[in-house]
Amino acid sequence: MTSKDDTIISRRDFIGDMTVLGASALTLAAAATPQEAMAAQAATAPTLLSPFTEVSTFEQPKFEFVFEIDLNFTRTQNINNMPTGAGRGAVYLDSGTIKGPKLNGKAVPNSGGDYALFRPDDVLSFDARYMLQEDDGTLIMIYNKGYLWGRYSDTMVKIRKWIFEKGPVVPETDYYLRAFPTFEVEKGKHDWLMRHVIIGVGKRKEAGNIVRYYALV
């Protein structure tokens, strides 16, 4: 049977052992080089999963420019006068360039196109998908939806004459071209595209469009 004194001694021995172990740990920590100490600290520090330093708040959303894409479409097909009153158009991607602070590269030729719905209310609801390739070789699939409509009752007529009949250029202030894309990309330096809301502000050109994309940070 263990006596009270034996129990006290055992507890003292335990505390002594812990003190020795603690001193040994401090000695080992002191012996580590500054580089090793910094590496150990970095290994335990949380990793920031966003490339942006600004942060939106509930009261004040913030947008940061990420890239601009200049697309060329010269091949078109149309399904007109569907029973719904709408039409379906298709424009196939010829080429495109990407430049900006967060993404640079190209749109891969012949990797897709835009299959827009021409609604009876004269709104063009676009539905595009094609492949992007960053300068480092990373492939990025973009699924791009959005709207093009005229701010005036005759704007879309003017745009059709501009694009298909070589009519006068329509100023971008006369129409609304906005996009809300989503992306697919491998895990790595560009996967922030799959966890941020991106919006695009675009303008037409004779054989395509130019869209500037902004992240809601």
Domain ranges for the chain, please list them: 4-44, 63-216
Inform me whether the pLDDT recorded for 113 exceeds 50: yes
CB 179 within 8 A of CB 194: no
Looking at residue 42, its pLDDT comes to 60
For residue 70, pLDDT beyond 60: yes
Long-range CB contacts (within 8 A, 24+) of 127-133: 130/93, 131/107, 132/69, 132/98, 132/103, 132/105, 132/106, 132/107, 132/108, 133/105, 133/106, 133/107, 133/108
Residue with tokens 């070589």, as numbered in its chain? 166
Chain segment 15-44, per-residue pLDDT in tens: 455 454 454 443 444 455 667 666 666 667
User: What is the rounded average pLDDT of the residues 131-137?
Assistant: 98
Q: What share of the chain is helix, strand, coil (3-state, %, to 5)?
A: 25, 40, 35
Domain 63-216's class?
Answer: mainly beta
Would you state the pLDDT for residue 32? 54
Q: Considering only 7-11, 85-89, 159-163, 183-187, which range has the smallest mean pLDDT?
A: 7-11
The structure tokens 């590269």 sit at: 105
Q: Which of the two residues, 6 and 77, has the higher pLDDT score?
A: 77
Distance separating alpha carbons of residues 172 and 176, to the nearest angstrom: 8
* pLDDT given at position 43: 66
Residue 20, pLDDT score: 47
